[in-house]
Amino acid sequence: MRRLLALRGEGKLTTRHVRVAADALGVRERAVWRWLAAAEQDEAAAAAPGERARYRGRFTVTAEVRALLGLWKGNVAAVHRELTARAARGEGDPPPSVPTLHRAIRRDLTPGERAGLAGGEREARKHDVFLSRPRGWRNQVWEADHVQAPVLVDVEGTARRPWITWFVDCASNTIMGVAITPGHPSRESVLAALRAAVVREAPFGPQGGLPEKVRVDRGKDFLSKTVAAAFNALDVTVEDLPPYTPHLKGTVEGLNRAVESMFLTALPGYARQPRPGRRRARPKDEVLLDFEDFTTRLLDWVAWWNTSHHPEPLKGRAPLQAWEADPTPLREIGADELWTFTLEDDGRIRVLSTKGISFRNRDYVGAWMTGQAGERVRVRFMPHHDHRIEVFDPSTGRYLGPAEVTGQANSEQISAVRAARAARGRRLRKDLAATQQERYGAQTRPGRPERLKAFTAQEAGQELAEEKTADLSRLALPDLIPPATPPAGWRTPPSLAARTRRAPADASAADEQPRSGTAGASSPSTAVDSDTTGEGEPR
């Protein structure tokens, strides 16, 4: 429009120019002549040609309206009430009507902005446009994540929601390795899933090998020193993604959604809440799966995903077929060597004594230690598996053998200790999981849940003895026997004197004697002292 105005100012504007502009804008020629006339009168009409004059002074969304929309979670009626109240206090102009406010918000804010002001950043991301990465080649990039299954599972008589830790190949969507933990996952869960992902031997293969890069989302378990040391030893780069960016690891996030919609929803005990703040009702007679059955079914689903599922991006091939068809060479490592690299190093040189190896105030022994007393050794261990350690030569790194904790408590003692702890947790009105977090081993094959806390017989006996002593101390009643009558020379507060025992008969005469500090026999100085101190202290 400004170009047409410039041509008119130069006297060069012709009908052909107006006709060409009308064809380009898809309007009639008369409309362009009308816009030119309006633009000559008002510069704003040149910037927005075709806009009606009555719209030029219309209401627009301001920073104040945006802030109120965020405060009231997108409630336009509440925003209108707030603006009206502020105008009544003289803090601004009266707002337009509610329909006009609705139209302005729809016109001036994008759908993503409206969703973000109403539901936060996660809702706003649903309206964003994301780029897709090239698939690359197999084992180029893996993505890893923890996800809590929305299914209640029977774990030793307690309903728990297990956690799944897995690695997925971004080029083929193949699930490389998975570990299931009955309780909260830890760095041990990451190492167990990593071993299952790398080893190509049964029962984990045929997929496997070492990746070039692994993407994680700032999880403390994936960034722990133990896991970082394992990745460094295996020459694997870890890409730590920025926070609140799940779209940057969309492969594993898509797998998290797929396992729920395609598998977990059909299991008994599915416990996904339908909406925030409402609890999903479960049938009272519903029988939950035990942990072993849940693990078996999940691993069967993983096998189905790798061999029988045909995602659309793979063009009719299963993930494992696409992975095996890739000719990229693999970096493989033996299971024994991998086990060594995925252990946590104690960082100290210890001396093997006649009692074995002292580690964390416990003694560990192994059959191979015979005749080895006095040798210097180095300890490595799986996190939270305190019943066993692995021993290496500190100079050559040669594996010497395992060592088991000595004097381990039997199952009855361990059960008694855990029962006492549970009772103590109930008395303190705290959840057992919050007061003492049970550690379970991550499972890569079906099996019963394995508790990781090891007790010696001495430790179990000591804790049970302390629990019995605590029971007796709770029965003590400090106010059952009232205190004796204080001596006659003491000034006793009335509140304490009423709670004392009566004096024996031979002391009644002494009680009739006036005492210092009592009403009726107090001297002026004594009264002043009593008012000053206010305590029943002997003078």
Hey, how many other C-beta atoms are within 10 angstroms of the C-beta on 89? 7
216: three-class secondary structure by DSSP: strand
Rounded percentage of the chain residues whose pLDDT exceeds 90:
34
Residue 294 has pLDDT above 70, yes or no: yes
Nearest to 149, CA basis, from 304, 280, 291, 279: 291
**pLDDT given for residue 529 in this prediction:** 43
At 149, give phi and psi (nearest 5°).
Answer: -70, 130
Task: Tell me what the mean pLDDT of segment 322-340 comes to.
Answer: 89
165: three-class secondary structure by DSSP: strand
**pLDDT given for residue 381 in this prediction:** 84
364 pairs with which residues across the strands? 357, 405
Enumerate domains of the chain plus CATH numbers: 2-55 (no CATH), 63-125 (no CATH), 141-325 (3.30.420.10), 343-405 (2.30.30), 411-475 (no CATH), 494-533 (no CATH)
Instruction: State pLDDT tens for residues 474-523.
Output: 555 555 667 777 788 888 887 777 777 665 555 444 444 444 443 443 34
What's the chain's average pLDDT? 81
Residue 367 has pLDDT above 70, yes or no: yes
pLDDT band, residue 302 (cuts 50/70/90): very high
**pLDDT given for residue 104 in this prediction:** 92
**CA–CA distance, 155 with 287 (Å, rounded to integer):** 13
Peptide bond into 383 cis (omega under 30): no
Find tokens 């299952």 and name the residue. 196
Question: Alpha carbon 401 to chain centroid distance?
Answer: 37
Q: DSSP class of residue 264? A: G
Instruction: State pLDDT tens for residues 240-254.
Output: 998 878 888 899 999
Q: If you average pLDDT over each of 52-61, 378-387, 404-413, 424-433, which comes out highest?
A: 378-387
Q: Copy the structure tokens of residue 352.
A: 């093997």
Q: Copy the structure tokens of residue 426.
A: 């109930």
